[in-house]
Amino acid sequence: MAVRPVCVTIAVLLLQLTAYANAIDPHLEILPSGELQTKPIGSSILLTCKPKVDNPMLVDDMQWLDPQNRVIESLKLVVLPLESPYTRGHSKPAMYTELHQDRSLSLFFNSLQEEQAGKYTCKGSYARNEQLNKSVIIDTIIAITWENAPPNQYPILGEDFAIQCHVRARPSPSVDWLYNGELIKTNERYIINTYALKIKNVQESDDGIYTCRASVQTTGELQERPIRVEVHIRPSIEEISSPVDIIEGENANIECKATGKPPPTFTWIKSLTQQNLSIADRFGVDPITGVLTITNVNREDAGEYQCTATNAAGTTTANIQVNVIVKPKIMEFVNKTVVEGSNTEIMCKAFGRPPPEIAFRKFTSDSVYVLGVQRQDDRIIMTNKAEDVSGETVGTLSINNALTSDDGLYECVAKNRGGVAYKNGHVTVEFPPTFRSMSNKTFLSWEQRPVNLTCIAESIPNATIRWTWRGDQRVDDQVSFQVLGNGPISILEVRPVDHRFYTTYKCIAANPHGTREILIDLKEGTKPSEILKANMVELTATTIRFDIIPPTEQEPPVTTISVQYKMNDQTWYNAKNRTWSVGSVYVLEGLVPQTPYEFRFAAMNDVGLGTWGANLYQMTPGKTVPTQPQILTTAGSEYEQSAFSNQYELSWKAPFDNGEPIDEYLIKYCQIKRVTGAWEVLDNTCETIRSPIRTRQYLKGLRSDSFYSVELSAHNIMGYSKPGYAKFRTNRGTDASVLQHQGPLLTSGAVIGIVVAMLFIIFIIIDAIFCCMRKTGIIYIICERSRRKPVDEEDTKLGSLYGWRFPLPYCDQKMANVAGVTAIPDSGSGKNTIRLVRHTAIDEKEPLKEEKKITPIIDSGLRRETSITFDGKRSISKTGFVGKDSAV
Ligand SMILES: *[C@@H]1O[C@H](CO)[C@@H](O)[C@H](O)[C@H]1NC(C)=O
Ligand SMILES: *[C@@H]1O[C@H](CO)[C@@H](O)[C@H](O)[C@H]1NC(C)=O
Ligand SMILES: *[C@@H]1O[C@H](CO)[C@@H](O)[C@H](O)[C@H]1NC(C)=O
Ligand SMILES: *[C@@H]1O[C@H](CO)[C@@H](O)[C@H](O)[C@H]1NC(C)=O
């Protein structure tokens, strides 16, 4: 058993070794362990230096030394001077130590700085003699930090730009760029520099998000920084069409437009004074739109202005020339007076900026005078003289050899870009008296009648008038003469008491430009002389038409012509007469047929009736058929054109009846056809109608677009006259039936009338039913009232009004008689008479029988009669004329 003692020996050895190790070798330990501590800048660090000894109570003098071997103070011992770098923002120093009870000493770095890197040593002594120390090296690293990498960057269009991304890190980082997620490589546009991405000739398309990516390989740190890039554009002011015109006294806006990114803002200054117009009186600047507003523009506002557009990318200015337009104003345009035949100038002075153009216009004319000589009138010359400096224009209208027609109101028109001004002036052309408006230079009088000799002198200025007679004698005889007015109109009232006054008078008119005279004759008026000639030109049994030539050159002129006529056996004393006005158709009517007459004629004027003369003897022919009627046609056409396709309105002139009244016309019309130039009547187309005595008849039932011939004869008791002829043609086109159905059959008014009437009838019926069944309603009330009055009184009243009583049959409750009106043809009388017989039920015992006889128009040649008979009372209304008693 030798193994057992060996094992025990090893175990004891091990135990002894362990005890040895526990007991010896005092040293310092720094936590965290590791000779090299790599810490990022800005981090807070705690290093603890722990003595590893048997008895920590024997450890003394624990210290931390900085890389420069200076003792780092403990927090309690740090005396902080005011404004020491450590105090800035912190209450604690950048590093300090703190001693713990187990004699370990901590070193605190509040926020590790780059310059604090280095070798730090912990020192201490053990049991008074043994020096302990231990070192640690602090190495700082820098995490990726964005030193200069603004998140928004604004390059300027067209320029080179470097997108800044200044990254700091230790170990040094590598930086690359992404644009919209894609990696950027250096090429002709992009240059990647250490701290920036350079873009050459920036375009708007370079807008976007750029990512600056920084990485440190050794630490594996990676950071990205998005940078928004927005390309800015320098402002550019749009071309302004300079100069700008603004108008004095008005408000003006001057625009300055500029583009740029971001949108520019504007300022304006006046170049001369460098005055900022945003804050100037009367001026306003809209910084957004760039509009310069000038209120109540005045002349001094003219000049150069400068508009400045500014944005983040830069500033641009533009100069704008501003002209102030002054509206024209007419300073002078005066009335002018000129003597006929002389020359004159009318001048119009006007001011404005630019100097206005002047035009002249005469009020009676629409057109203005042209510059220079007038084409229609070379006496008139127009000139215009403008002066830019003073802004004044002088317009002149020269009139040579002035005429009275130049007199009148003229207008001066001054016009420039700012407006127009008008002023009126009068040109008065003076002239000596004229008598051109005097139409009458001969006056008449007779039988001592006073007469007014009127003298009208036209002139400017007004003329004065005096009168002389008989070789410059003054008209001072108060009895015979009276002068009314002495210009420009003068009336000489003459009472020609004897023949001396029928002579020549002189009217003398004078004004400053001359004296003129005119002779005025006073003549004695006489009755007309005998009729020169009177002929009979047309004769019927009862009429004569004369051709009469009145005496000519009568003063006063002939106004009427009279004829006196008598039967041969009568005296002129009993003669009848007839007077026509001169120039009319001299027809004498109402003569007795087959009678010898003597006629004599005389002319009449204002003085009186001339002597009778030019006697004519004529026997009137016997009664005979009427003269040939004359159908009225359009002169010169071969046939008349009817307005209708199916009818024709024939009208004619009533012929003379030759002693017996015309009782009818016979009209015969036939359809005709042109056959080789001649007209031929078509068989079986002739119609004959008899027309009563009137001068118009419709021929109906005609064929459209056809020719007709028509013959018209007048008839009297002696027979038919020679017929008058005419041809006509019906209108082509629409048929009669078509014509009739064009348009509504009833007008809307008629329809309304019918509806109202129907409603009224329905009302009466209903009311009547109520009257009978219920004893109520309007009719019942009327009946009740009328019942209370004496029937006779009512009867006569109504009878006189309507010829019979108002029918109220419904009121009879027994309804004994059926009320009604019966029309009975009255054949007994031989006339076309209708008897209206009505039974009424008011008087039950003796039903009234009322008769109403209506005799329609009976055409009995000359007599028409309408007779109406009521209850034996007869009222006759006659129409037409009664010519012959035998006719009825
Ligand atoms: C010119 O004449 C007109 C009328 O003819 C008159 O109304 C106006 O007052 C006159 N002007 C002057 C300046 O005399
Ligand atoms: C002449 O004229 C005057 C004034 O108009 C008038 O009163 C008088 O009655 C006239 N005489 C005759 C005869 O017409
Ligand atoms: C001239 O005569 C006319 C007509 O009688 C009159 O209306 C006018 O007032 C007169 N003029 C002068 C200046 O007397
Ligand atoms: C015409 O006759 C009427 C009376 O019949 C008579 O008063 C008148 O003076 C006569 N005229 C002439 C011009 O004879």
Please report the pLDDT score of residue 620 as a whole number: 92
| pLDDT tens column, 169-211 | 888 898 999 998 889 888 888 998 888 999 999 998 999 999 9
Average pLDDT over residues 732-742: 53
Please report the pLDDT score of residue 664 as a whole number: 92
Range of the domain at 175: 149-229
Please report the pLDDT score of residue 667 as a whole number: 94
Residue at 289 is within a domain? yes
Answer whether residue 767 shows pLDDT above 80: no
- Ligand 4 close to Cβ of residue 337 (< 6 A): no
One domain for residues 542 and 601? yes
Q: How many folded domains does the chain comprise?
A: 8
**Chosen domain end from 619, 652, 679:** 619
One domain for residues 638 and 723? yes
Q: What percent of the chain has pLDDT over 90?
A: 42
Ligand 1 center–CA 411 separation, angstroms: 12
| pLDDT tens column, 635-667 | 778 888 888 888 899 999 989 988 888 999 999
Please state which of the ranges 544-548, 635-639, 678-682, 771-775 shows the lowest mean pLDDT.
771-775
- Ligand 4 close to Cβ of residue 562 (< 6 A): yes
Ligand 3 center–CA 462 separation, angstroms: 6
From 562, 595, 587, 586, select the one nearest 576 (Cα to Cα): 562
Q: What is the average pLDDT value for the chain, to the nearest integer?
A: 81
One domain for residues 409 and 448? no
Q: Are strands 161-164 and 196-199 parallel, antiparallel or unpaired?
A: antiparallel
Ligand 4 center–CA 577 separation, angstroms: 6
Average pLDDT over residues 356-383: 90
Please report the pLDDT score of residue 409 as a whole number: 92
One domain for residues 793 and 853? yes
DSSP string, 130-146: EEEEEEEEEEEEEEEEE
Answer whether residue 869 shows pLDDT above 50: no
Average pLDDT over residues 354-367: 90
Question: Using the 8-state DSSP alphabet, how is residue 263 labeled?
Answer: P
pTM here is: 0.48
Given ligand 4 and candidates 531, 559, 570, 577, which is best to mutate, with the most ligand atoms within 8 Å of its CB? 577
| pLDDT tens column, 435-475 | 998 888 899 999 999 999 999 999 989 999 999 988 888 88
One domain for residues 115 and 70? yes
Answer whether residue 476 shows pLDDT above 90: no
How many other C-beta atoms are found inside a 10 Å radius of the C-beta of residue 510? 18
Residue at 201 is within a domain? yes
**Chosen domain end from 396, 431, 466:** 431
Question: Using the 8-state DSSP alphabet, how is residue 751 labeled?
Answer: H
Q: Which ligand is nearest to the CA of 333?
A: 1
C-alpha dist (Å) from residue 533 to 577, 578, 603, 613: 18, 17, 11, 9
Q: What percent of the chain has pLDDT over 70?
A: 81
One domain for residues 237 and 195? no
Please report the pLDDT score of residue 82 as a whole number: 54
Tokens coding 276? 């900022």
Query: Exposure of 853 by Cβ count < 10 A (0-12 exposed, 13-18 middle, 19+ buried)?
Result: middle
Please report the pLDDT score of residue 264 as a whole number: 94
Average pLDDT over residues 360-380: 89
Residue at 846 is within a domain? yes
Average pLDDT over residues 133-161: 90
Please report the pLDDT score of residue 876 as a whole number: 39
Please report the pLDDT score of residue 404 as a whole number: 86
Please state which of the ranges 148-162, 500-514, 712-726, 846-860 shows the lowest mean pLDDT.
846-860
- Are 427 and 344 within 8 A, CB to CB? yes
Residue at 600 is within a domain? yes
Residue at 754 is within a domain? no
One domain for residues 467 and 498? yes
Answer whether residue 24 shows pLDDT above 70: no
Q: Which ligand is nearest to the CA of 609?
A: 4
One domain for residues 447 and 417? no
Answer whether residue 763 shows pLDDT above 90: no
Residue at 738 is within a domain? no
Question: For position 557, which CATH number holds?
Answer: 2.60.40.10
Please report the pLDDT score of residue 53 as a whole number: 86
Terminal Cα distance for the chain, rounded: 202
Confidence label for 773 from pLDDT (cuts 50, 70 and 90): confident
Residue at 750 is within a domain? no
Tell me the chain's radius of gyration from C-alpha atoms.
69
Question: Using the 8-state DSSP alphabet, how is residue 156 labeled?
Answer: B
Which of 116-120, 559-563, 688-692 has the highest mean predicted lDDT (pLDDT)?
A: 559-563
Please report the pLDDT score of residue 357 as a whole number: 93
DSSP string, 338-388: EETTS-EEEEEEEEEESPPEEEEEETT-SSBPPSEE-SS-TTEEEEEEEET
Answer whether residue 868 shows pLDDT above 70: no
- Ligand 2 close to Cβ of residue 442 (< 6 A): no
- Tokens 């002075």 correspond to 349
Q: Can you tell me which atom of ligand 1 is nearest the CA of 335? A: 1
Answer whether residue 844 shows pLDDT above 50: no
How many other C-beta atoms are found inside a 10 Å radius of the C-beta of residue 685? 15
Angstrom distance (rounded) from CA 281 to CA 73: 71
Ligand 1 center–CA 160 separation, angstroms: 77
Please report the pLDDT score of residue 568 as a whole number: 86
Average pLDDT over residues 752-777: 78
Ligand 3 center–CA 460 separation, angstroms: 9
Average pLDDT over residues 302-316: 92
One domain for residues 635 and 597? no
More confident: 738 or 526? 526
Ligand 4 center–CA 608 separation, angstroms: 14
Average pLDDT over residues 347-365: 91
Answer whether residue 713 shows pLDDT above 70: yes
One domain for residues 351 and 387? yes
Q: Are strands 244-247 and 314-333 parallel, antiparallel or unpaired?
A: parallel
- Ligand 4 close to Cβ of residue 462 (< 6 A): no
One domain for residues 161 and 218? yes
Please report the pLDDT score of residue 874 as a whole number: 41
Answer whether residue 150 shows pLDDT above 80: yes
691 pairs with which residues across the strands? 665
**Chosen domain end from 324, 354, 383:** 324
Angstrom distance (rounded) from CA 190 to CA 180: 15
Q: Which ligand is nearest to the CA of 332?
A: 1
Closest residue by CA, ligand 3 atom 12? 462
Residue at 499 is within a domain? yes
Answer whether residue 78 shows pLDDT above 80: no
Angstrom distance (rounded) from CA 447 to CA 502: 12
One domain for residues 868 and 795? yes
Confidence label for 81 from pLDDT (cuts 50, 70 and 90): low
Please report the pLDDT score of residue 87 as a whole number: 47
Confidence label for 845 from pLDDT (cuts 50, 70 and 90): very low
Average pLDDT over residues 114-132: 88
More confident: 780 or 812? 780
Please report the pLDDT score of residue 166 as a whole number: 92
- Ligand 4 close to Cβ of residue 704 (< 6 A): no
Q: Can you tell me which atom of ligand 1 is nearest the CA of 409? A: 5
DSSP string, 596-653: EEEEEEEEE-SS-B---EEEEEEEPPPP-SPPPPEE---TT-SSEE-SSSS-EEEEEE
